[in-house]
Structure 1
Amino acid sequence: MIRAYRANGSLEIVELSERPTDLDADIIWLDLIHPTRDEAILVEELLSLALPTRDELKDIEPSSRLYVENEAIFMTASLIYKVEADLPHLADIAFILFGNRLITIRYAEPKAFAAFSSSLLRPNFHCASAALLLGRLLEAVVDRTAEVLEMLATRLDELSVAVFIDRKAAKRRPPGFLEDKLLDIAAHHQLVSKASSSLVSLGRMAAFLQAQPKVRLDQDAREMYELVGRDIQSLDEHAAFVGNNISFMLDASLGLISVEQNAIIKIFSIASVVFLPPTLVASIYGMNFKFMPELEWSTGYPLALVAMLLSAVIPFLFFRWKGWL
């Protein structure tokens, strides 16, 4: 699908004819969403510009994502999407500045694009150049990433409350509670990792654009990219902070699991130690030798029971006195 936007005071969506021969000069943005090969060829013919294919977007190396060719600025950034799903993804999206036009090629639909498309159709939205339009689009993407990090921080707070509760509530936890929380922590770690990768990609793109003569001559666009660059830097620091919190939650959860396991092992160890002396007594007096003097005692059996009871109670009281229980 090809979505075209015309700069006519405010921006408006333009319906392209089935096979246009040229583009109006005031069309400032061409948004290619899951474009077919025929649609890509059509845009290439209209612009006289070769567009990257889907495979090229996937296979392009990080060092080759930003370049200038035939007076066109080609950029590829990784944007996070499917945040609400169990497995967030990164989408490689192409941004091309060619003349006073912005061309975007995407095979995913991040929410930032939908929010930005809705905002630019407002009557008070004005954009004099494609470079400024791209800056505002990047601002929307960065704002969406900030929302993702805030949502992640909220989830971590809820997870912290669930994990670090009082001991009475901890005794009522279902089996495997903490193990399930480890899966949640792993999902949060993956999300913050994707967000950090996206921020790095956006930061490189913003820095690259600030060095372009076309952008440096456009004061509004230059100021916008400087603002976006500062926002990306602050979000990158916030993502690192959230990542540290996730690492702490992981270490703490593993520690609590170890404490619970040690408590269980402690119970078994104490039980084995407590019942070891009675077993020893029973083993001794269970040997039916002919010349054992105790075999002739009329009180031998009750004395053996008393000896086994005392040999269990005395170690138990000793452990309590030592504070080991």
Structure 2
Amino acid sequence: MPDSRFILVTAPAKVNLYLGVHPERDERGYHLVDTVMTTLDLTDTLAIAPSDHLMVRTVPEADFPMEENTAWRAATAMGEAFGREPNFAILIDKHIPVRSGLGGPSTDAAATIMGICRYWGIDPTDARIDAVARSIGADVPFFLYGPPAYFTGAGDAMQEIYRPLTGTPVALVKPLDGGVSTAEAYARFDANPQELPELEGMLEAMRTHDEQQIFAHVANNLAAAACELAPEVAEILTWIREQPGVRAADVSGSGAVVFAVCDTQMAAEAIALSAINDHGWWGQAAKMGEGGPVIAVG
């Protein structure tokens, strides 16, 4: 690519259709996890352009140093992996809430990796790319693949990819303020481990694209920890399961977002509006997507 050009990368959010956290940990100290994830059409947008040094900014502005941002870490890791200076200016237009369980930091990292691959002419299937992604966070490899997938390990080892559930309506609701720290959720889980949900039914349903059975097997044994840390999440989960048109609902990841798979987009939008207007929560209607980061050249 000519250095004068910039690229825009859309970075999708995700929900965990299934999350089973094991009490056991791997050699890195991470909990062993089984998870099935799918992307959403709720996205951050990254603008990436060549610069004389690495620079990362977010809109709205983050309340922590940019050196701690996953996009910065991803760019730095790419430079180390490929022996090049990651001199890029990266602007992230944030729409995915932080500490929500929707994978915002991870998808931003994956989008950064894919954008740098485009600039440097690197094949995204290069084994070094997966290693870079795993070094940033457990969900980052998923966002490189994009379609619904089953991951093991610490949630970073892809096992199976499935046909997308494109267009399936989803309502997203969370407390207006605050969120749930992933580290605190896992610490609370350790204090009171929850039984693993049944997994094989979800995997078989994903393999056969049986939507009724997929949504019948939605489960998350980290949800109890999220609800204990943020009781309002438990309130939202109870409320959303009672709303018309809801096929399945649970906490996404470690929270604080509760997602509801809905019969229609109208039902999803009605839930989001009611959450905002009647309860003062954050609400958003979305749809399930079909892929990972999308790159447009400016």
Q: Is the TM-score greater than 0.5?
A: no
Larger radius of gyration between Structure 1 and Structure 2: 1
- Asked which structure has the greater RCO (Cα within 8 Å, sep 6+), the reply is 2
What's the TM-score, normalizing by structure 2? Answer: 0.23
Structure with the larger helix share: 1
What's the TM-score, normalizing by structure 1? Answer: 0.22
Structure with the larger strand share: 2
